[in-house]
Amino acid sequence: MSKPSLLACVCAALSLLPAGPGQAAVRAAASSAEAAVADPSLADYSLEQLSDIVVTSVSRQPGRLGSAPASLYVISGAEIVRAGATTIPEALRLAPNLQVALAGAQEYAVSARGFSSQLANKLLVLVDGRSVYSPLFSGVYWEAQDVALADIERIEVISGPGGTIWGTNAVNGVINIITRSAADTQGGLALVHAGNRYAGATVRYGTRLPNGAHLRVHGKRDDADGAPGERPQSRGGGVGRRQLGFRLDWEGGDRALTVSGDVLDGALRASREPRTDFSGGNLLARFDARLAGGADLRLQAYVDHTGREQHGVGKYSLDTVDLEAQVGQRLGERHNLTWGGGYRHGRDRFVNGPVLQFAPSRRTLRWTNVFAQDEFSILPSLRATAGLRLEHNDYTGLELLPSLRMAWDAAPGAMLWAAASRTVRAPARIDRDLLLVDPASGPGQAGRRVLIAGGPDMQSETARVLELGWRAQAAAGLSYSATLFYSDYARLRTLELQPAGAPAFGNLGTGRVRGVELWGSWQATRGWRLSAGAVVQDIETGSEPSSTDLSARTGLATNDPRSYWTLRSSHDILPGLNADLLLRRVARLPQPAVPGYHELDARIAWQVRPDVELALTGRNLLHARHPEFGAADVRQLAERSVFASAALRF
């Protein structure tokens, strides 16, 4: 087999992997997507309202965004609606501390603070507290994540470590997608959109049951045509998804119960690679109660099934059971303690193909954790947060994840904060059990020639992170946030030559990432808000002297821009007529090389009457097409597109 065709097979194989408490306060926050459909007033929110948005991802307890000692950005449901986003990655482009790049048909490389790849493995993603990362490679299949976007209350995006609260793999950030209570989505809603590349529809209905509980059900379908490839006469495949889901919420006194579930079915239709089918289903239950002593108790459990088959390459399925308990309580006047623990059990099966194989093909994995975090006051204007998580996994045993955060209220509306953390990325199946086989080799175990193998002694990657941040309201109409960060990585995954046999994964990589994150918001006039954000970063990776790392040849190395920025305008032009613009700039990517680019997205919406909204959205308006990620011979191009949408409440 020639070298180009062998690389094509390797790329095809790897593409299977990709390239509580305070519910009332949360519902009262100004981030309601439903409100934007009925009254698109996002451009007129006061900065005080935005600062008072309730967030939970930093401490697992409700708190004000303005007082959170972390590099945290909140994408509200109203912003998602006004941006015209149709997928979760499109919504994530609104976060200035995330780098989002299109690599294929709804296949994305999403990262924070470097290490961007379709195999990115240092960003933890949650949907209502349910982890959606895959233990196959410690990353996320973005094309298989589907949520009714109109039901999202907010997306909390933390850039930086979150291991003390959320565990291993929350190394460079946490994305927490939080949907709205069924009590806030009563009545019917129908959304449709169609254009030159996209088409989809969502129908949702909410009702109040006789026992006082509220129920929401929804169904949605999305289809996207294939984008052009880099090479002439080549065009990538499209994607289609179908989803059904429900959510039930009940509140009575000091108790609340939430039960939700979804089923998903979809396919990546590729013109140059085998078709990939994916499916899944989950059921989650969460119980919140106020205990006699004033403590808040949360119990959560979910079951999850995912399946994925790339025809001719391999088939993977995973069944997960997760149990978790958490207690939050005040100790005296100065301490606010959160503690708890959890257990996760995963059982997977991989049907080996001619190229991509795992040994063993079946594995049961268990994760156990206990954690505690205390926020306490040192002075009236100075507070600290100290935490520790102990987490055990079957590959590396016990991992320690400590953190310390300090926050100083330097002046009214201004806060200086600092943090020091240690976090880890635990090995996944790909690290220990992968076998990438030459399809031209002979049949059977004796005749096969392994090209890449997992490392049986692969250990956890580690990161020590220092952060210094400043958040302030500089004037009545201006607020901003700035964060300096430095991350020191050790035992990063490398691909090492072996004295005998195929190259295997090892832990001889090192890295340093330093940079600054900036974003701000300015109320230019009544009904017009401007927002901007930028990240400048310096990423250095290397290896130990004894390393023979081949990672750059296999596409497993990081590929990040030195800078990227966004500028966003939300303008209520007239009563019932609003316009939104998003201009973004991404610097060039080094390896594989991708040119830097500017792009513009725009949406104009007309509130015909309180229950009807019509909108026109344009994507990538500055260029007919451009690359964003991946090697020239396999990547798809982001293409200019325009689509119309309508929202009807009934």
Query: Is 142 within 8 Å of 134 (Cβ atoms)?
Result: no
The phi and psi torsions of 168 (rounded to 5 degrees) equal -60, 150
Query: Is 570 within 8 Å of 43 (Cβ atoms)?
Result: yes
Which tokens is 224 given?
Answer: 């996207």
Name the least confident of 112-116, 172-176, 223-227, 600-604.
Answer: 223-227
Among the listed residues 237, 202, 227, the one whose alpha carbon sits nearest the alpha carbon of residue 87: 202
The phi and psi torsions of 139 (rounded to 5 degrees) equal -130, -165
Q: Is 58 exposed, middle or buried (0-12, 13-18, 19+ CB in 10 A)?
A: buried
Structure confidence by residue, pLDDT tens digits, 234-293: 556 788 999 999 999 999 989 999 999 999 999 987 666 678 999 999 999 999 999 988
Mean pLDDT value across residues 545-554:
77
pLDDT recorded at residue 501: 84
Confidence of residue 37 (pLDDT cuts 50, 70, 90): very low
pLDDT recorded at residue 411: 92
Half-sphere exposure of residue 489: CA atoms within 13 angstroms, side-chain side: 29
pLDDT recorded at residue 294: 87
Distances (CA, A) of 522 to 47, 444, 478, 516, 625: 9, 65, 5, 20, 32
pLDDT at 42 > cutoff 80: no
Query: Is 422 within 8 Å of 388 (Cβ atoms)?
Result: no
pLDDT at 41 > cutoff 70: no
pLDDT at 634 > cutoff 80: no
Which domain CATH number covers 207?
Answer: 2.40.170.20
Structure confidence by residue, pLDDT tens digits, 417-461: 999 999 999 999 999 999 999 887 766 666 678 999 999 999 999
Look over the chain and give the mean of its residue pLDDT values, rounded to a whole number. Answer: 88
3-class secondary structure per residue, 58-125: CCCCCEEHHHCCCCEEEEEHHHHHHHCCCCHHHHHCCCCCCEEEECCCCCEEEECCCCCCCCCCCEEE
Cis, peptide link before residue 360, omega less than 30° from 0: yes
Residue where the block lists tokens 């499916």: 279
Query: Is 286 within 8 Å of 299 (Cβ atoms)?
Result: yes
pLDDT at 598 > cutoff 60: yes
Structure confidence by residue, pLDDT tens digits, 93-149: 999 999 999 987 778 999 999 999 888 899 999 999 999 989 999 999 998 998 999
Among the listed residues 528, 605, 616, the one whose alpha carbon sits nearest the alpha carbon of residue 571: 528
Mean pLDDT value across residues 187-213:
95
Structure confidence by residue, pLDDT tens digits, 464-498: 999 999 999 888 789 999 999 999 999 999 999 99
pLDDT at 230 > cutoff 80: no
Q: Is 593 exposed, middle or buried (0-12, 13-18, 19+ CB in 10 A)?
A: exposed
pLDDT recorded at residue 60: 86
Among the listed residues 274, 250, 293, 289, the one whose alpha carbon sits nearest the alpha carbon of residue 14: 274
Residue 377: what residue type?
A: S
Which tokens is 451 given?
Answer: 């090209």
Distances (CA, A) of 12 to 7, 372, 433, 505, 526: 9, 43, 18, 20, 52
**Which of helix, strand or coil describes residue 454?**
coil
Which tokens is 570 given?
Answer: 């939300």
CA distance 283 to 244: 12
Confidence of residue 33 (pLDDT cuts 50, 70, 90): very low
Residues 6+ apart with CB under 8 A from 343: 322, 323, 324, 366, 367, 368, 369
pLDDT recorded at residue 29: 35
Residue 199: what residue type?
A: A
CA distance 112 to 55: 19
Q: How many CB atoms lie within 10 A of CB 548?
A: 13
pLDDT recorded at residue 293: 84
**Which of helix, strand or coil describes residue 424?**
strand
Structure confidence by residue, pLDDT tens digits, 563-575: 999 999 999 999 9
Mean pLDDT value across residues 499-518:
93
The percent helix, strand, coil of the chain (3-state, each to 5) is: 10, 55, 30
Q: What percent of the chain has pLDDT over 90?
A: 71
Structure confidence by residue, pLDDT tens digits, 235-244: 567 889 999 9
Query: DSSP secondary-structure letter at 197?
Result: S
- How big is the CA angle at 105 (ends 101 and 106), to the nearest 5 degrees? 60
**Which of helix, strand or coil describes residue 319?**
strand
Strands 638-639 vs 625-626: parallel, antiparallel or unpaired: antiparallel
CA distance 641 to 195: 7
Which tokens is 290 given?
Answer: 């106020």
CA distance 91 to 81: 9
Residues 6+ apart with CB under 8 A from 7: none
Among the listed residues 428, 432, 433, the one whose alpha carbon sits nearest the alpha carbon of residue 359: 433
pLDDT recorded at residue 117: 85
Which tokens is 484 given?
Answer: 């300096």
Write down how long the chain is: 650
CA distance 27 to 30: 8
CA distance 309 to 158: 32
pLDDT at 584 > cutoff 90: yes
pLDDT at 31 > cutoff 80: no
Q: What percent of the chain has pLDDT over 70?
A: 89
pLDDT at 25 > cutoff 50: no
CA distance 260 to 286: 9
The phi and psi torsions of 88 (rounded to 5 degrees) equal -60, -45
pLDDT at 5 > cutoff 50: no
**Number of domains observed in the structure of the chain:** 1
Residue where the block lists tokens 């302030």: 472
Which tokens is 32 given?
Answer: 């309601």
Give the DSSP H or E segment for 422.
strand 414-425
Query: Is 121 within 8 Å of 135 (Cβ atoms)?
Result: no
Distance of CA 335 to the CA centre of its chain: 31
Strands 577-586 vs 597-609: parallel, antiparallel or unpaired: antiparallel
Structure confidence by residue, pLDDT tens digits, 304-344: 999 999 888 899 999 999 999 999 999 888 899 999 999 99
Half-sphere exposure of residue 246: CA atoms within 13 angstroms, side-chain side: 9
Among the listed residues 454, 449, 447, the one whose alpha carbon sits nearest the alpha carbon of residue 437: 449
Range of the domain at 421: 3-649
Residue where the block lists tokens 């080549």: 234
Distances (CA, A) of 515 to 114, 453, 487, 567: 10, 34, 9, 19
pLDDT at 21 > cutoff 50: no
